[in-house]
Amino acid sequence: MLNVLMLKFQFMSYRGYLDNITAIGPRTVGSPENEVLAVNYLLEQIRRIERESTDAHKISVDIQRPTGSFSIDFLGGFTSYYANITNVVVKLEPRNGAEHAVLSNCHFDSVPNTPGASDDAVSCAVMLEILNTLSKSSESLQHAVIFLFNGAEENILQASHGFITQHEWAKSIRAFINLEAAGVGGKELVFQTGPENPWLVQAYVVAAKHPFASVVAQEIFQSGIIPADTDFRIYRDFGNVPGIDLAFIENGYIYHTEYDTSDRILTDSIQRAGDNILAVLKYLATSEKLAKSFEYRHGNVVFFDILGLFVLAYPARVGTIMNYITSAIAFFYLSKKVLQPKPRAVHNLKKLLTAFSLTLTSWVCTLVAVLMVAMFVSFIGRALSWYTHFYVSVSLYGTAAAAKLILVHMLAKKFFYKNVNEQSLGDVFFDASLMIWSIALAVMTQMGLCSAFICTLWVAFPLLTKLMIHREFSQKGATIKFILMYMLGMFVPYLYMLYLSWTVFEMFTPVMGRSGSEIPPDMVLAGFIVIFTMILSSYFINFIYLVKSTKTTLITLTTVFVVTLILVCSGIFFPYSSNAANPKPKRVFLQHTSRRFHDLDGNVVKSDSGIWINGFDYNGISHITPHVPEINDTIRTPCEEQAPFCGLPWILPVHFMFRKNWYLPAPEILPRSPIQFKLLSKKLIPWNSVRLSFEVSGPSHMSLYVRPRAGAALSRWSLGDGMPVASLGGDYFVFYSRGLHAAPWHFWVELTDPEKHSDGILSLAIAAHYFFGEDQKSPQLYALLERFPDWTFSSGWSCTYDLFVF
């Protein structure tokens, strides 16, 4: 009874913290809500915990307000500058102090116009309760635990950079746990570890009560397919510290929207996350390996959970040996089959290679056919029909893939293998699938991919099954028994693959609603479905040749596909949903913008104002036009070719993801706190170079766009490490943010120009973004937002844009 009450008490603490943080409202960097109210609440709770802690511990609290700059290759590459942002740092250590520490990181800021419950208030709530629990323990920890409540993660990882590069406690950190979100609740997935340091994964394996981890997710995330990043990168790249990255992944449809509220995060999710993170932190804080982590740093690790029950983890070098041995055994088995009897070796090899080629051909034909269907659906304007109804994607693309696979092999059986024994065909196509998986295993292992363990499953278990079953359907009475034993042998790889596919689709499907206007989401999802169909069918292709007829199956699949395609074309499956219990909104960003373009003498040569509109998915504004008729394709935004980034006020350099946007004319906006931009000095320096120094004062968020004129080159600047980093397209992008009471921003740029240019050597533009306060939304923007349908999440703010030539 006592344990039950304790668990309930802990949950109520988590929930109380979470509700109070989100009740503050959106916590945008620089806003009073983020810099004052949220900070004061955290300090109030930390001081209370400090008062109630036992004598075994010492609690130190520090408010850090760093200023700094760095470059990052995220989103094509840009430079970040921050000033006077806020970190709340707490150190829990033994009374006599500790030399080494483990870091736990969350962030309390949110994106504009959202309460940010899952991203990342719930993690901060969990950390507060973990601090409370550890501080009340009578047992002293061996190492310190540093809790970083960082106040500027949504500004592309600025606060973590300020901490790890500038705070005095950062030097003692030997490992970290980063708590993030890519969805709202559910299980928290370990999707990044290391780099190297396999002992950290082992710590999670031993300590976590409810494990959920995948090296597959790690390799997918680090490939850059998902347009996101976390503080893990900063600690890894700038602090040279290894760690574990966890994130909630379920229900990503409402991630970064107004629906990310505390009531949508389930009790079980909070308790589960608290149990796991408390156990892992306590394990690390009492581990001998933490102090000597440098001795255990070498080598990567293969890790994956089994249905959330436990985690299998082993060194990557062990995995490499296992993989090569497995593939070698498979190739030995195949060569033995080919060479027996020897007189028929050439014939056997020809049969195997033919089956191998046919299998690959069927996969290619299936992929091409299904992608053509996806292309057609996208072309007629029915993309994302499955966004709210995921079963539609299975009914449309899954059935098409299965039907095409069966059709290819049915035709091969009928015309190419007309007079061949069915039993021998079944056997040779099994061997062909085994050969494909063995090659894939060897190739992926050679590439150093830890995800090659999946191929090991698909080689080892089918091969063991085949070796244990010696009958080749020669006796009719043995058919059912053979099939049952065959299915049983395939159970493990099939079960794991279904479990993995659920995780992948849980992560990727919502991402398609915020992946930009350029990537057809239907083709991406269709591709995933085809891949999983090919994997799951690879060892059942042989049954097409063993059964008398697959006509009924083919007709059924084709019927389901045709009916679904007709329904999709009719528009019956609307992509978005305003269902209060499970919303799946369309994301639209609107910026009421005033633009001014200056010439070399500082005169305004062009100006305009309007509401700049970006739809975050492939459908653009096609579904919005019926509700707001003036937003249509006649107001597509033109590109100002002479200006960097087309003369548009991008808050981040995502121009390559959103090439289709719209500009609705609107009255000029006059912010009460306008931007102040000054050229302080122009200095000629050796080697045909010039240094331009600037001063900028403005709102908490600004974007700087730089383009050297033809013949000139940007050689150095005062930002980052001093070496300019170009974004995609060749222009330079600087993201600026500040907390309260920051001094004016000073920076300089150096340009090399071997020739004199009468029209200047540099185009420089600056956009000021008003994310909160009285300047955030104009009356015209408010009125337009009110007209948007309830199945949209429309986030709006005001901004100004000024282009100068020097």
Residues that are catalytic: 153
User: 78-83 and 732-738: which strand pairing?
Assistant: parallel
Q: What is the 3-state secondary structure (H, E, C) of 621-671?
A: CCCCCCCCCCCCHHHECCCCCCCHHHHCCCCCCCCCCCCCCEEEECCCCCC
N-to-C CA span, the chain: 74
- Do the Cβ atoms of 183 and 249 come closer than 8 Å? yes
Eight-class DSSP state of 153 = S
- Do the Cβ atoms of 676 and 697 come closer than 8 Å? yes
User: 243-248 and 173-181: which strand pairing?
Assistant: parallel
Q: Which residues contact 775 (CB under 8 A, 6 or more apart)?
A: 671, 672, 673, 699, 798
Instruction: Map residue 695 onto helix, strand or coil.
Output: strand
Question: Would you tell me the crossing angle of helices 479-489 and 453-468 to the nearest 10 degrees?
Answer: 150
- Do the Cβ atoms of 760 and 642 come closer than 8 Å? no
Under the phi-then-psi rule, with left for phi > 0, alpha for psi from -120 to 50, and beta for the rest, what region is 760? left
- Do the Cβ atoms of 81 and 719 come closer than 8 Å? yes
Residue pointed to by tokens 């008062």: 51
User: 745-752 and 713-717: which strand pairing?
Assistant: antiparallel
C-beta atoms surrounding 139 within 10 Å: 11
Q: What is the 3-state secondary structure (H, E, C) of 115-131?
A: CCHHHHHHHHHHHHHHH
What's the gap between Cα 270 and its chain centre? 21
CA distance 517 to 725: 25
Q: Supply 654's token pair.
A: 């995502």
Name the nearest CA neighbour of 351 among 542, 614, 622, 550. Answer: 542
Strand-pair partners of 72: 78
Residues in the chain: 806
Written as one string, the DSSP assignment of 28-69 is -TTSHIIIIIIHHHHHHHHHHHHHH--TTEEEEEEEE---EE
